[in-house]
Chain A
Amino acid sequence: MAVVARRSIVVFRTKVCFVVTVLAMMCALILISTAAPRAAAQGCAQCYQSAAASGAAGRAALRHGILILLVPAISLFVAILFFLYRRRDSAGNAPVSRLP
């Protein structure tokens, strides 16, 4: 009975830790995204004028270029998070199944 209760506590703690981590990351993302409009005003004036003068086609090309850079970076980020979550117990923490 006590063993089952202890396992439940460990499982619960693990889940809480994961949820807290995800929530913290989401909060950080929201903070960064809300700060983005202010950051845009600090951009390089020459780059801004160059992009603005390139016309609609040039701006579309820049958007596509940014997306091409963004997709693999986000994919790598998500993949690393996924593997971290899958192997969260591999270093230090004993697996739940090995608990007495």
Chain B
Amino acid sequence: MLASTIAESVGRSAGANGSAGGYLGPGGGASPNGATPQRAYITGMFLALGGILMFFSALVSAWVVRRGLPNTDWQPIPLPHILWLNTLLLAASGVTLAYSRRCLRTGREADHRYWWGLTTILGMGFLAGQLLAWRQMLSTGLFLATSPGASFFYVFTAAHALHLLGGIAALFALAVRPPRRLTPDTATRVVALYWHFLTALWLLLVAVFLLAG
């Protein structure tokens, strides 16, 4: 239902764009003037990802040091079971996003819109699942200040969820209104880079929690 709504909004924005080829444009995803891909936006996204990577590296580093210090009140926390479902949802959203971009490149506009909307829904499902995970943690008596491990868990998941919220906003923005300066190919590529990075980052965080939690 929501996927079709988003797909329709993409279609409306494509019509508003005025191009004969719809959202894809006359070049089917290529740059309008036939130039090379807009590298500046890709480079900018890579720089942003570098900053995010360093931010989470600092968090993991603090977590490792805090956990390794002797004679502290560190207690391992049980991970909520719904975290597995959330991980599955996020991984699935990465697959649907990749397929959506593939549809864009091959000129299948309707399929692109459908899979793009499905990616948005899966992302929102992940965020809802994270809220449920927090509720499960709270119901077992693990609050933010209960133990350092619980505090780190909340900080990690909240920071990741905030970043993912930005990704969902970008997915929505592209669905509602095509960007003015970016070609569809560049815009979807930038968003896909961000999304896949956050997916990989989440898998890494889960692995860290599992192996050394």
Contact = CB atoms under 8 A, between A and B. Distances in A.
Mostly helix, strand, loop or mixed at chain B's interface? helix
B60 interface: yes
B54 interface: yes
B154 to A, nearest CB: 20
A4 interface: no
A62 B68 CA distance: 8
Interface stretch (A15-23, A38-46, A50-58): A50-58
Main secondary structure of the interface of A (DSSP, over half): helix
A60 B68 contact: yes
Interface residues of B, number: 15
Contacts, number: 43
Given A55-B70, A57-B70, A65 B65 contact: yes
A71 B68 CA distance: 19
Nearest to A68: B61
Contacts of B68: 57-58, 60-62, 64-65
Contact of B54 (A58, A60, A73, A83): A73
B35 to A, nearest CB: 13
A21 B67 CA distance: 41
Interface of A: 54-55, 57-58, 60-62, 64-66, 68-69, 71-73, 76, 83
